[in-house]
Amino acid sequence: MDASQLHIPVMLERCLELLAPAIGRPGAVLVDGTLGLGGHSEAMLERFPELTLIGLDRDPEALRLAGERLARFGERFRPVHTTYDGIDSAIAELGYDAIDGALYDLGVSSMQLDLPERGFSYSKDAPLDMRMDTTAELTAERIVAEYPEAELRRIFRDYGEEKLAQRYASFIVKARAQHPITRTMQLVDVLQAATPAAISKQGHPAKRVFQALRIEVNQELAVLERAIPRAVDALNVGGRLVVMSYQSLEDRIVKRVFQARSRSTAPVGLPVELPEHRPELRLLTRGAELAGDDEKERNPRSAPVRLRAVERVRENVRGAS
């Protein structure tokens, strides 16, 4: 399996452009918090010959494939098996006090989508798995089999923004009482049976449910809530952070942290802004940037991307977030 053939890096040139002022310097260190198959990392290591790159991923298979792809860079590439909220621990364990840049390309990877046995796709029959880290215990099959109806409804509503959350949860509970739901197509059949005909024409009924299950299995939003503040805190002054989100729940978390830490915290009416009240971050993008039409045509998976970027402009005197 050739990693370079499995993955087309999203918004690659824009990421390089945004990170260049921070990571083009001698001795710079960058964390690729979502290493995946190493497409972004490979480009950065090639473009910036004095860069050291720490690659984080929870998926052992992704680490193996990316490791093969990036082996030619020797000690300049440092892989770490961890979720991306482990950025602070990974940096410290490798002997660094701070970093000059970080990149997060969120969501499910191309490899995970394209390998049927991983169970992420609602268009291919496979075990109902969805673990990004195959050493973890919780699977989508276990959630579907064991979660109470109210919990299923909650995750479909909160993580999938699914309007039929209650109906789908009810149908799943009734179906699993008749026979175990262990495969993706079994679940798809239940969801299709639960979907009114008029709504079924508006898109695949399993899309949002599968998204919700994947987020629950991998605790993606909880990890992201911890990861973004930790990444900001890890940056040197002048360091930059680029985050690409693929659905609104992720983007809201990123936007909230970036906006909060790019504003002054001075109390209203204070005649002079003290240094500790000045913004920690400078926004590098106006809102969220989208992939261009040409890229969307070449790489359909770039269509939903929302890119945001910031630069660290002062030390955090308030302590870690």
Using alpha carbons, list the distances in angstroms from residue 316 to 2, 161, 232, 280, 306.
Answer: 42, 35, 9, 7, 26
pLDDT tier for residue 274 given thresholds of 50, 70 and 90:
low
Residues 64 and 135 sit within 8 Å (Cβ to Cβ) = no
What's the average model confidence in pLDDT over 191-218?
A: 91
The CATH code for residues 3-111+220-312 is 3.40.50.150
CA distance 140 to 145: 8
Write out the binding residues: 38-40, 57, 84, 105, 112
- Does CATH place domain 117-218 in 2.40.30.20? no
DSSP code of 119? -
Count of helices and strands (H, E) across the chain: 15, 7
Sign, CA dihedral 20-220-286-232, equals negative
The 3-state DSSP class for residue 200 equals helix
Give yes or no for a contact between 141 and 127, defined as CB atoms under 8 angstroms apart.
Answer: yes
Dist CA 278 CA 272 (whole Å) = 11
Contact yes or no for 232/243 (Cβ under 8 A): no
Residues 110-128: pLDDT tens digits?
Answer: 767 777 788 888 989 999 9
Domain coordinates in residue numbering, the chain: 3-111+220-312, 117-218
Q: Determine the pLDDT at residue 8.
A: 81
Annotated binding site for S-adenosyl-L-methionine: 38-40, 57, 84, 105, 112
Q: What is the mean pLDDT of residues 206-211?
A: 95
